[in-house]
Structure 1
Amino acid sequence: MKIITNPIEIDQALVGMIKKYKNYFIATAWASLGSKASLALLKNRNRIKKMVVGIHFYQTHPNFIKEFINSESVKFILKTSGVYHPKAYLFYNSPEDWECIIGSANFTESALSKNSEIVVHLKSSDPYATSVYETLTATINNYWEKSESVDKNFYKNYINVWKKNQKKVKKLSEQYGRNNSNKPLVKSKLFTLTWDKYFKQIKNDKFHSFKGRIELLDTVQSYFEHEKHFYKFEKIQRREVAGIATSNQSESAIEWGWFGSMIGSGKFQNRINSNNVYISDALDCIPLHGEIDKTNYNCFVNYFNQAFPDGGSGVAIASRLLAMKRPDYFVCIDKQNRTKLCDEFGLPKSVSFESYWDDIIERILDSIWWNSKKPSNTLQAKAWNGRVAMLDAIFYEEK
């Protein structure tokens, strides 16, 4: 008997047994291709006597199912009263000549390459071998009776549902964008806040006025409600929304630099002052009400970048506009809040257009406070309508 804890060694052990033995009895909760063991299995598929694979939570990859459509030796557990969750691999020439691996490792690329796994490697020469062999074969035979072969129609249906659920699966694994966070979400004080606790934090604005921030957001929303397209705004209104209006230019007492002052961005000021049509087109991609998805965001980014053919586009100025039109979905990321906000999620300080949505906004949209019901209290309801933009009140720091 041997304990194996390294996934690469588990993979190697499986490959060795696949090549050595003439018969395979396998039960695994999930399966995929990509590991060395999976490639060896495909080359020796005629040796598979009974392999039973589960599909719970859509963790079995369609690429594995495709290889075994209408198979008489590989079947699938499509429905059970509980979760089908075994991981047992028996390879034998006879009841007196066999080896098996039992433990935590599924027959997936991740389990056999990078996951933390632990298995027991047993042989027919080990103590109580007869009992182990008989128990394994009986158990897998029992699974086999509950399993089914799948056809092309099942495969087509499965792959559609699998694709739809991959986003959910990745989020449950805390996989958002390309940047891997070095901080679990459960350690994020922000992510797990209830609405009441989140409201207390944004109300306790250390540098600016909470009510002043609410007034700013309300005013900008009234602009968008009055005029559908940004290019129809008055010049001073465009400057206010863009965060480049100063107190002596605006008739309002509002501090327009809150939520990200963009006065230092010369090219951005030029585009706003000249009423560049691509800025307006970009904002048209973002609906004023209802849900927003990455398609809306990508549309915005595409038009926004076209306003800067000579360079000068960036996440800071773009996110300022996004936070003004939909403060319930977007926060302006600038040098005053970037460090603390990224630290909160354990992310790199460099934020690209892609990582802004995938790594930051997607995480925010999964938070407890963001998914709370709209409060009945008037002031809280206004804060809730601007709840993502108001993150600036928490992470802002003077430079």
Structure 2
Amino acid sequence: MVDIKLLKADAVNKNLCRLIDEHDEFHWAVAWGSMTNATTTLLKNSAKFRNVTFGVAFSQTDPDLVDALQGIERARVATKFAGGTYHPKVYGFRSGDRAAAIIGSANFTFGGLGSNWEASIRVTGDIADPFFVDIFNFTKESAKFGEAITPDFAAAYRASYRRASRMAKPPRDPMDGMRLIKPAGFTSPLASMNWAEYVAEVRASAHHDIEESLTLLRVAQEWFASVKSFADLSAGQRKAIAGLIGERQKTSLDLDRDWGWFGSMRGMGDFANRIDENDRHLARALDSVPQKGGVTRDHFRKFVKHFQRAFENSTRMGGVPTASRLLAMKRPDIFICICKPNIVEAAARMGFSRTTLGLDDYWDKVIEVLKLAEWYNTDKPDNAEGEIWENRAAMLDAILYRPS
């Protein structure tokens, strides 16, 4: 026989704290959690965990709780539920033949245990009752969706939580775009730099004339906006955008500037040939990246597919330097050209291996790291720094550039 009582949010909190202290085993499956007073009580009793699995969908669980669960045996975060959202609120307890459970709408959060209008039921009774058999089977099954919390996961999740706070619709999977980022990428100086620090470093560059750099990017943007396709640009404009133009080819005022900034591609013979030929695959590659609005991983994948097709009959494939040069000219707010003069510093600040970076992981190891950075996610300033903000990814080269 079981005893049932209806609980509101504040009563859930009081009952949870009491049951945590009273019982020997915890069998939980909970969608989200925060660092509440009940959390303090829970963590003091971590030896009692049997199957305790918290969800992290949409990055709504407090990263401090995820950190605190590291190293606790039988503590899990639900990352393997792919069909929808891991969304239970089941708190099961056992001591010998006695059992208790709280089930309802209340998450293990400040709202769920206090400020929200919640409804849950507390059930107490004998462990052999079919209700409790089902409860403990459910929490055991829920644990199969979980993984243990490692330091690497905790660092990635904290970065995901910061990212989610800036997004109108965060991804359901908090590890979306995070799995290939090395732990150093989450804690690097680049990720923690604020906007004022970023601008100060850009302006302190010993190798970029900032105003000339911004003018170059502005001219490239005007060219892209003036045509429907990269193929419609003149040969000189295409070579300038590609970082290949020679002094004799600078036949107009717009062309007559140092197009070697943001990655000179002089010496890239096969790439130069494709630009000279106005290769249709290169045009399709750049045309697949929108001139305005969001740029997604799928846009990038389409770019890579067409870009690589341009080199199918070449002795040398186009790689990260040539591809990212084109991308940085098309969307300097999203992409940075990674090439020989800046790759050592970029690898150190972003936490990737400079010897293995390729087009297959450029998005994850470079763009996803930039998207986590505080300076990258600041609102556009309404002063002269606004133009730097509009080109903030490409202008990172002013910070990272180290001449050989």
The TM tier, using the shorter chain, reads 0.5 to 0.7
* Equivalent of 2:378 in 372, 375, 384: 372
Residues 1:232 and 2:256 are matched in the alignment: no
Rounded to whole Å, the distance in 1 between the matches of 2:368 and 2:276 is 32
**Higher CA-based Rg:** 1
Letter in 1 for 2:182: S
Aligned pair in 2 of structure 1 residues 55, 78: CA closer, same or farther (>3 Å)? farther
Residues 1:185 and 2:186 are matched in the alignment: yes
* Equivalent of 2:318 in 313, 337, 340: 313
Aligned to 1:381: 386
Rounded to whole Å, the distance in 2 between the matches of 1:235 and 1:338 is 29
Aligned pair in 2 of structure 1 residues 164, 314: CA closer, same or farther (>3 Å)? same
User: SS of 1:170's equivalent?
Assistant: coil
Letter in 2 for 1:79: A
Is the Cα contact below 8 Å between 1:247 and 1:255 reproduced in 2?
Answer: no
Rounded to whole Å, the distance in 1 between the matches of 2:202 and 2:357 is 23
Aligned pair in 2 of structure 1 residues 282, 28: CA closer, same or farther (>3 Å)? same
Is the Cα contact below 8 Å between 1:329 and 1:388 reproduced in 2?
Answer: yes
User: How far does residue 209 in structure 1 lie from its aligned partner after superposition?
Assistant: 1.1
TM-score by length of 2: 0.62
* Equivalent of 1:176 in 178, 181, 198: 178
Aligned pair in 2 of structure 1 residues 322, 77: CA closer, same or farther (>3 Å)? farther
Rounded to whole Å, the distance in 2 between the matches of 1:238 and 1:356 is 23
- Could you report, residue by residue, the CA deviation over 1:141-194 in whole angstroms, capped at 9, with x for unpaired residues? xxxxxxxxxxxxxxxxxxxxxx9410xx227xxx7243x5242633x2222222
* Equivalent of 2:301 in 298, 301, 304: 298
Rounded to whole Å, the distance in 2 between the matches of 1:300 and 1:220 is 18
Rounded to whole Å, the distance in 2 between the matches of 1:249 and 1:81 is 66
Is the Cα contact below 8 Å between 1:181 and 1:346 reproduced in 2?
Answer: yes
Rounded to whole Å, the distance in 2 between the matches of 1:269 and 1:221 is 21
Q: How does 1:1-399 map to 2 (within 5 A)?
A: 26-29=26-29, 55=55, 57=57, 59-60=77-78, 61-62=80-81, 78-80=105-107, 82=109, 107=143, 164-166=171-173, 169-170=174-175, 176-178=178-180, 180-183=181-184, 185-186=186-187, 188-251=188-251, 252-310=255-313, 311-349=316-354, 350-378=356-384, 380-399=385-404
Rounded to whole Å, the distance in 1 between the matches of 2:295 and 2:310 is 22
Letter in 2 for 1:358: D
Rounded to whole Å, the distance in 2 between the matches of 1:326 and 1:115 is 34
Aligned to 1:142: none
- Could you report, residue by residue, the CA deviation over 1:321-342 in whole angstroms, capped at 9, with x for unpaired residues? 0000000000001011111111
User: SS of 1:344's equivalent?
Assistant: helix
User: SS of 1:62's equivalent?
Assistant: coil
Rounded to whole Å, the distance in 1 between the matches of 2:397 and 2:225 is 24
Rounded to whole Å, the distance in 1 between the matches of 2:345 and 2:257 is 25
TM-score by length of 1: 0.63
User: How far does residue 354 in structure 1 lie from its aligned partner after superposition?
Assistant: 2.4
User: SS of 2:344's equivalent?
Assistant: helix
Aligned pair in 2 of structure 1 residues 235, 165: CA closer, same or farther (>3 Å)? same
User: SS of 1:190's equivalent?
Assistant: helix
Aligned to 2:35: none
Rounded to whole Å, the distance in 1 between the matches of 2:300 and 2:221 is 19
User: SS of 1:183's equivalent?
Assistant: helix
Rounded to whole Å, the distance in 2 between the matches of 1:288 and 1:65 is 33
Is the Cα contact below 8 Å between 1:244 and 1:263 reproduced in 2?
Answer: yes
Is the Cα contact below 8 Å between 2:328 and 2:394 reproduced in 1?
Answer: yes
Aligned pair in 2 of structure 1 residues 112, 259: CA closer, same or farther (>3 Å)? closer
Length, aligned pairs only: 286
Is the Cα contact below 8 Å between 2:263 and 2:339 reproduced in 1?
Answer: yes
Rounded to whole Å, the distance in 1 between the matches of 2:54 and 2:347 is 38
Rounded to whole Å, the distance in 2 between the matches of 1:266 and 1:221 is 25
Identity fraction in percent:
29
Aligned pair in 2 of structure 1 residues 222, 79: CA closer, same or farther (>3 Å)? same
Letter in 2 for 1:176: M
User: How far does residue 237 in structure 1 lie from its aligned partner after superposition?
Assistant: 0.4
Is the Cα contact below 8 Å between 1:182 and 1:347 reproduced in 2?
Answer: no
Rounded to whole Å, the distance in 2 between the matches of 1:219 and 1:324 is 10
Structure 2, unmatched stretches of 5+, are 1-23, 32-49, 59-76, 93-100, 114-126, 129-141, 153-169
